[in-house]
Amino acid sequence: MEIRVKCGCEKEECSEWTIVELQGVVETQSSFQGSLHNLEIGRLCHSDSSQETYTFTVGYHELIGSKVTLKKPLLVLKKRKDDLSEKSSELQVLGIIRTKILFKTRPKPLISATN
Amino acid sequence: MEFDIPLPEELELLEANSYFPEEEEDDDYLNFEEPPYPYPIDGDEEVDISGCKRLRKVIPDPIVNLDEVSPASEKRSKIGDNNRVEMEDEEWLRFSPVKEVVDVMEEEEEEEVILPQETILSRYASEIDGECIPITAPDGGDRVYAKFCRGLGDEPVKKLDMKTKSNGLLKDPISVLLQQSEQDAFNKVLQTSSEDQNETIHAVTSVMHEKLWVDKYSPSSFTELLSDEQTNREVLLWLKQWDASVFGSEIRSTTDEVLSALKRHSTTSHHQKSDSAFTRKNQFNRWSKGSFTNHKKSDESNSKSTDIHDLWNKKSKLSGPPEQKILLLCGAPGLGKTTLAHVAAKHCGYRVVEINASDERSAVAIETRILDVVQMNSVTADSRPKCLVIDEIDGALGDGKGAVDVILKMVLAERKHATGKENIDNGKTSSKKERRTAPLSRPVICICNDLYAPALRPLRQIAKVHVFVQPTVSRVVNRLKYICNMEGMKTRSFGLSALAEYTECDIRSCLNTLQFLNKKNETLNVIDIGSQIVGRKDMSKSLFDIWKEIFNKRKMKRERSNASSSEAKSFDFLHTLISSRGDYDLIFDGIHENILQLHYHDPVMEKTVSCLDSLGTSDLLHRYIMRTQQMPLYVYFPSLVIPIHRLVAQIQKPTIQWPKSYHRCRTLLVEKQESLRSWHHKMPPYIGRHLSIKSFVEDSVSPLLHILSPPTLRPVASHLLSDRQKDQLAGLVMLMCSYSVTYKNVKPDPALSKLREDGASDASVLALDPHLFDFISFKGHQFKHHILTLAMKQVLLHEVEMQKILLASGGRSGVLNKPEIKKTAPDLARKTVAASNESRRIPITSKPPSVPVEKATTSKAKPGDVKKASRNALTFFDRFRKSRKDYEDPEDVQKRATAKRDSRPLLFKFNEGFTNAVKRPVRMREFLL
């Protein structure tokens, strides 16, 4: 079966994506019943210093990570079903991932005494 | 011959400055040698050598013919008197020398008659007709004018010339011989001068101020000392021990003489004159050997003196200064301490430098002064080493301490130096060191009245202490009688002995009184002695003396007079004694400390009761005075002592101790109060407010201790306990927490471990942290509390620590996930308190049986208890906070919680990697199988 990969961005460059890799799980509070809808996950900040360090604040944890170039870049595809021809399906390229931001250290708690 | 008279006056002047005869030899000899005019040698003693000759030559002289005879004859009579005095001097103790006095009086009259006829010697030149020559006294600078007689002037010159021509026949030139004879005679005069004094002083009363008898008759040599022989000898011995370090080996030659002086002193206690001439070869060799051999021959062998001889021989072998470098003389005033110090120091060849109460006594001033004295040698003619005498060292407390401190510093430096010397043992280094430190290289004698003055406490430990005792009354009376005879005052020995007794053998006040009376031309009246104001040195007795007076009955007075008057006397005596001292509370402390140690006959405890009653009264009075500041009431204190004295005074001497128990108890009380107070502060206020410190000690400490150490607890593992025991344990732990009592490792106190019988006395012992057992332990009281075993204590300690942590963390954790814990904990505390207060009769609410204690406390949550718990908060402020929270609980807490949750909808959960994986080699084969 032939799968056609179509890049929709001929004129401009392909949009670049980034993976945020966490060692751990981001969980919702029990009261939200697992739905992430309309919830702010956290805040990702990039420091201006020479080292590419990123801080990611989730809940009362602060994660510190760095940008890592992937050995093999990844392509973000979107499957587009052709209503006309059911047999043939098209994968549209949404973006290319060349780097990831890796948070592999133990998170720093932000709890103050008042909390 | 006209110059006969100046000499006695000069002698008198010398005596006025109370110089020692030997001391004067150098200076005055020179003076006598170089007068502006050929100076006839002297009067009295010269007569047998050349006086007669001269007299013969004088008589034919037309000018002074008539006038000269009378002085000469007067001289002769004087000489006769002197001889008689000398002769009778030895027996002056046995006979009252009335003859002498009569002679003296006669002679004085004679003199008075003669003097107006022709003034040979006068203060004013105008009174002398004819030529006159001024003569200045060698010291003092008094100037008199003497008549100049030309006819006499040539004679000595001629004689001198003659003898110089015949120089070859003599071994020594005539000048030397003359000097020697002059000097011999002069020594003789000085020796006899103490007897001549009253004659000479009357001759010149018109121009001289009368001297105090105390100074005039002060002992000028060691043998005249009135104080106790034993003390005198020991002081002298101590001074002689310095010889090796001060004088070097030079002094060795005098040891025999000093010894024989001592011997002589011990055998013949009163003054004796040595009749032979003195030699001056050795500076310290004042007694010629000849005279002493005589004495030795005459002396029967005395055991005391041989003892001293042995002692001396032993000591003399030692080189270096004596062990104790300070001599501390103490005793009541007027016993002759200062005199002894001066005389002994002079006797041993020191120059006395005295620092007394009238000198500046700040620490700096005194230090330089002491250093000057002790470390420097003077370069002047008088190169004798100095001896420092610090008089009345106890006098001023603040300033006197300066002297004490300086001396202490020097002695300590010396000790350090000595140890250093031992270590190094090298001549050079030690000498270097000596320069650097300030060692004490000269004897220092300190004199005080009160040995137990606080300022002297450090000095007492390093000094050699000699306490002066009163001389016997007979000795004092003998001396007084002698002086009265010399002064021509008529007294009776009975009156004198009464005076001596009244002044407690204070010879200074005796003499001053006598002189005062003499001046007023009154006689000493026995009855008046009590009323006459006898001048005494102003000082109060030491506390020990006062206590001794209180506890000691005086036997002497009872014998002498009838009972009632002696009672009144002793009443007065005690009253003045105590009121002059003034430290009433200390005096009463001392009485309280010592009264029960006395052995008085008291079969039904009546005396003890009344004594303690007086003490109680004094206590009440003291308290009242302290509270109201009505100091005039202090007047009534001395009278409280007197009934005690009446009741318990004994004839035998009491052993008196310084009152310490009061201070000990007071410090103990303060210490325990402090520990109780700090414990009280540690307690949560809702418990502490029901507990006053006073009532705790009086009432509740014993029940609390019963509760804290129940006899039913067994030291076994917690899972082996029955439910009931677990409840008990939990209750006890909660109680301990809420009273903030815990166990602590303490060092084993021997007394405590004995009391508590812990068994583990060598290891550290677990004791209650506020040491509650201290509050019920009394001397000789065994408390009946059950004492927990060490294992049980350890269990309790552990549990209490756990409980404390739980209680502390309960506040935070309760908000987040376990809000119940906090409520249960105080609830439990309250319950356990209640339970324990009702002696654990009420069973604690049911608990799951298998849960360990600490879990039980956390898991025990009951909705019904919540409201009750809110009343019993953990701390004072917790109460408010929690109750507010509890109050808002339904809506507000919920709202706040949701708001908090919404602010952080997502939480990050970190997945930890495993690093503890087991690594072991595995063969491929094992997988295939």
Residues B70-94 have pLDDT tens digits of: 444 444 444 444 444 444 444 444 4
Higher pLDDT pick, B551 / B619: B619
CATH top class, domain B227-247+319-418+438-470: alpha beta
**Mean pLDDT (whole number) for B390-414:** 69
Q: CA of A56 to nearest chain B CA: how many angstroms apart?
A: 10
Instruction: Tell if the CB–CB gap between A29 and B911 is shorter than 8 Å.
Output: no
Lowest model confidence (mean pLDDT) among A38-52, B378-392, B795-809: B378-392
SS3 B311: helix
Whether the CB-CB separation of B563 and B571 falls below 8 Å is answered with no
- The Cα-based distances of B429 to B200, B411, B435 in angstroms read 59, 20, 10
CA distance to partner chain A, nearest, from residue B811 (Å): 12
Q: Which residues, 6 or more positions from A30, have their beta carbon under 8 angstroms from its beta carbon?
A: none
Question: For residue A53, what are the β-bridge partners?
Answer: A66
Whether residue A31 and residue B898 make contact (CB cut-off 8 A), yes or no, is yes
Closest Cβ opposite residue A24 in set B898, B904, B908: B908
d(CA B483, CA B577): 31
Residues B254 and B822: their CA atoms lie apart, in Å, by 96
- Rounded average pLDDT over B309-313: 47
Distance CA B145, CA B213 (A): 28
Residue A70 pLDDT > 90, yes or no?
A: yes
Give the number of other CB atoms < 10 A from CB of residue B339.
20
A59 → closest Cβ in B898, B906, B912: B906
Across B138-161, b (16+ Cβ under 10 Å) vs e yields: bbeebebbbbebeebeebbeeeee
How far apart are the C-alpha atoms of B104 and B99, rounded to whole Å?
8
What pLDDT is attached to residue B77? 46
User: Do B908 and A29 make contact, defined as CB atoms within 8 angstroms?
Assistant: no
CB B466 within 8 A of CB B327: yes
Mean pLDDT of the region B874-892: 51
CATH architecture of B538-555+566-658: Up-down Bundle (1.20)
B799/B565: higher pLDDT: B799
Decide if pLDDT at B209 tops 90.
no
Measured distance CA(B658)–CA(B593) in Å, rounded? 8
The helix/strand/coil state of B127 is helix
Contacts A–B by Cβ distance under 8 A: 57
Under CATH, what is the fold of the domain B471-534? Helicase, Ruva Protein; domain 3 (1.10.8)
pLDDT of residue B383: 65
pLDDT of residue B680: 85
Q: Which among B447, B336, B466 has a CA at the least distance from the CA of B388?
A: B447
**How do residues B627-637 score in pLDDT, each as one tens digit?**
999 888 888 88
Q: DSSP letter string over B36-84?
A: SSPPP--STTTIIIIIHHHHHHHTT-SSSHHHHHHHHHHHHHHHHHHHH
For testing contact with chain A, the best of B906, B911, B912, B914 (most A CBs within 10 A)? B906
Higher pLDDT, B888 or A56: A56
Question: Structure pTM?
Answer: 0.37
Tell me if B337 sits within 8 A of B329, measured CB to CB. yes
Confidence of residue B878 (pLDDT cuts 50, 70, 90): low
Distance CA B776, CA B706 (A): 12
Higher pLDDT, B501 or B256: B501
Q: Contact, B739 vs B732, CB < 8 A?
A: no
Taken as a whole, chain B contains a residue count of 929
* Count of CB atoms situated within 10 Å of the CB of B516: 15
- Smallest Cα distance from A97 to chain B, Å: 24
Question: Are the beta carbons of A23 and B904 separated by less than 8 Å?
Answer: no
Mean pLDDT (whole number) for B374-390: 68
List chain A domain ranges: 4-24+42-107
- Name the closest residue on chain B to residue A32, using Cα atoms: B905
Of B900, B905, B913, the CB nearest to A32: B905
Q: What ranges make up the beta strands (E) of B679-792? A: 743-746, 765-768
Question: How many other β-carbons are positioned within 10 Å of the β-carbon of residue A43?
Answer: 10
Query: Does B901 contact chain A (CB < 8 Å)?
Result: yes
Report the chain B residue with the minimal C-alpha distance to residue A63: B908
Is B904 in contact with A59 (Cβ distance < 8 A)? yes
| ipTM for the whole complex | 0.77
Q: What residues does each domain of chain B span? A: 227-247+319-418+438-470, 471-534, 538-555+566-658, 675-749+763-778+785-806
